[in-house]
Structure 1
Amino acid sequence: MRIIIERSNLLKSLAHVHRVVERRNTIPILSNVLLRAGSDTLGLKATDLDIEITESVAAQGEQDGATTVPAHLLYDIVRKLPDGAEVKLSLNGEGTQMTVSAGRSNFRLQCLPETDFPDITAGELSHGFTIEAAGMARLIERTQFAISTEETRYYLNGIFLHTIESEGDLMLRAVATDGHRLARAEMKAPSGSEGMPGIIVPRKTVGEIQKLLGDCAADTEIRVDLSDAKIRFTIGPVVMTSKLIDGTFPDYQRVIPQNNDKELTLDRATFSSAVDRVSTISAERGRAVKLTLADSNLTLTVNSPDAGTATEELAVGYDSDDLEIGFNARYLLDVTSQLSGEEAVFVLADPGSPTLIRDDDDTSTLYVLMPMRV
């Protein structure tokens, strides 16, 4: 193979595909990116056996061919080449080395044959729909912080994506929970998603699709095809195929409180800043912050046996019975950072029951937070 490509185009494509490659691999071929040269395109492919990303980029082909080279090494080389450089990729006669040259820079990389490179065949994907990048990004951003990192409950290590009837409309809903907090976001279901199976998209896949969505305009049309075992995202020239988590997501509806009767309304930014300030007193992550509610007044308190005590008072909208309840400070900050309105609404019951948190003017997202003993 022999092909010439503009450095910025190659760098952008490598940035998309090399991220799925694990830096430490027991299988050498999985450290590599597959390069396939055509007459006017260069195809790139990388995989970790769970996720596969492919992309085609315009190039000037001189001789067709394919090989695989270390993904992170090639990315670092191209990243350090000067802007505007033309990069020439050429394979030696034996196919054991690829030369990367640009101007006076020359690198020779060890190759492994393309025939060794694994292929994740998607199989038949039973459902497909088109969705705007902004809509997909919003579902992910509003929920991904609540994905569990606890490997024992593997079925919580992703976002549960499914359709559901809500007030006469079919909604596409994303849910994530780690058992301590729950995040739910929804939008009107796109045409073609009717009857789709409920799927759990793994945490790594969620992170990769979020990065890809960040690289495209908000109104870009994304194609999503899925079955109960795999999902494929097509974003322009980039195609990402991923395995899904094989498990059953718990009945999250049972966790969402229906009978909480105490409503607290507060300024989101002021509250978030106050939580951040009082939690400074403790170096311990996850320190509980106590919320004391009485007569339209909220007192935030953090006690640290080693450092001392911090309190701050806020004027809030609250006219129910006096209440003391504790929450993990970090979880409170995570939730309030997802809210987009000026005011946040907390719907509470008692110190031992889950609390519902939502935007004052946005019904499409809600959050549930389990209290802590204080």
Structure 2
Amino acid sequence: MKISIERAVLLKAVAQAQSVVERRNTIPILANVLIEASEGSVTLRATDLDIEVLDRAPAMVEQAGATTVSAVLLHDIIRKLPDGALIELVDDTRTGRLQVSAGRSNFSLATLPKEDFPVMASSEYSANFAAPAKVLRRLFDKAKFAISTEETRYYLNGVYMHVADGESGRVLRCVATDGHRLARVDAPLPEGAENMPGVIVPRKTVGELRKLLDDDDMEIAVSVSETKVRFATPDMTLTSKVIDGTFPDYSRVIPTQNTKRLEVDASEFSKAVDRVATVSSERSRAVKLALEDDKLVLSVNAPDSGAAEEELIVAYGDERLEIGFNAKYLLEIASQVDRENAVFMFNTSGDPTLMREGNDTSAVYVVMPMRV
């Protein structure tokens, strides 16, 4: 194999690949990226056996071939080479080394046989559809903060992507919850997704997927089966196993009887919560919300370090209410609001609270209160 490729192009492809690779591996080949060169392009493939990422990049190919080399090491080398450099990769089969050269810099890297590299088995996908990158980005970005990190409740360690009944018909829905807060985000149902099986997309996959979704004008090809999900652009394909478990019936925890309505400027609310929570050494310290006629008083009382209080002018016309929340959860939910105002719907100080953006119900959030 002998190829020449621009540094920026190779760096982007290797960066995608090495982020999938696990740093600590008992199987040496899993630390490597598979480089395959054919006419006019080079393909880089990396896997941790649960996720496989495949990146295609244009290159000048003098001699086709394939080899595997340490993904992290190759990324570090390319990252440190000067901008605009033309990089030459030569697989020396006699020495079993990959020669990397750019200008006066030369590196000789150990390789492993390409035959040892595991390729994820292709799956028969039961649903194939296309969705705009910005639609998928909104679905996953607004839901992922609520993904559970508890390994014992493994079925909550991802985003549940499925087809559901929305207010105006069938929708593509993403839901995540950790038992303390929940996010439910809807988007119009793409053509071809009607019979899609519901799948739980793992947390690591959600993080890797974000890198595909930066270009608003890009259409993402999505394929779903009972065991795998695949997201593809012309240059990159991300394939992942899904979590083998049953996502709980989340509709039971979304309150429908909450009638006390608070409307507040989302940005001002976030800043005020952040300020009063400063006196608490623990970020999980409860922030108390005291509501009465068009007034909200936020307060924190931390016996070890002090107390804080801040008053906001809001729209609230119901009976007086005092309720406490984990400050971190409040900040994360408020940060999801793209519009100016956040609307909170309360019942009592012991019941879950619903939050949405103005009157838009395509994204709703639920947060459990704390005792204060």
What range describes the TM-score normalised by the shorter chain of this pair?
A: over 0.9
Structure 1 position 29 matched with structure 2 position 29: yes
Segments of 4+ moved more than 3 angstroms: none
Q: Post-superposition shift, 1:260?
A: 1.0
> Superposed, which structure 2 residues align to 1:106-121 within 5 Å?
106-121=106-121
| Closer, same or farther: CA 194–95 of 1 in aligned 2, 3 Å | farther
Q: 1:213: which partner in 2? A: 213
Structure 1 counterpart of 2:308: 310
Residue 89 of structure 1 deviates from its aligned partner by: 0.8
Point out where structure 2 has 5 or more consecutive residues left out of the alignment: none
Equivalence map 1:81-120=2 (5 Å): 81-94=81-94, 96-120=96-120
- Cα root mean square deviation, aligned: 1.0
- Asked whether 1:182 is paired with 2:182, we answer yes
**Residues 290, 324 of structure 1: 8 Å contact kept:** yes
Alignment map for 1:190-269 (pairs within 5 Å)? 190-214=190-214, 217-269=215-267
Q: How many residues align?
A: 372
Query: 8 Å contact 1:122–1:230 — kept in the other structure?
Result: no
Percent of residue pairs bearing the same amino acid type: 56
8 A Cα contact 2:6 2:84, kept in partner = yes
For residue 185 of structure 1, report the CA deviation from its aligned partner: 0.7
Distance 1:360 1:156 in 2: 28
Q: Report the TM-score when normalising by structure 1.
A: 0.97
SS of corresponding position for 1:139: helix
Paired with 1:339 and 1:168, the residues of 2 have a C-alpha distance of: 22
Q: Secondary structure at the match of 1:67?
A: strand
1:80 Cα shift?
1.0
Q: Indicate yes or no: 2:7 matched with 1:7.
A: yes
6-15 or 141-150, which deviates more: 6-15
Q: For residue 54 of structure 2, what is the aligned residue in structure 1?
A: 54
TM-score by length of 2: 0.98
Distance between the aligned counterparts of 1:39 and 1:166, measured in 2?
48
Aligned-pair distance for 1:334?
Answer: 0.4
Q: 3-state SS of the aligned residue for 1:190?
A: coil
Q: Greater shift after overlay, 320-329 or 54-63? A: 54-63
- CA offsets per residue over residues 282-333 of structure 1, 9 Å max, x none? 1112110001112221111101011111111112111211111000011100
Question: Does the Cα contact within 8 Å between 1:157 and 1:203 map onto a contact in 2?
Answer: yes
Which stretch shifts more, 6-15 or 183-192?
6-15
CA positional deviation for 1:168:
4.4
Matched residue type, 1:343: N
**What is the one-letter code of the residue matched to 2:23?**
R
Is 2:152 aligned against 1:152? Answer: yes
| 1:131-170 aligned within 5 A | 131-170=131-170
1:188-223 alpha-carbon deviations (Å, 9 max, x no partner): 100000021111000000000012212xx2021100
Q: Which moved more, 1:131-140 or 1:205-214?
A: 205-214
* 1-structure distance, mates of 2:84, 2:267: 44
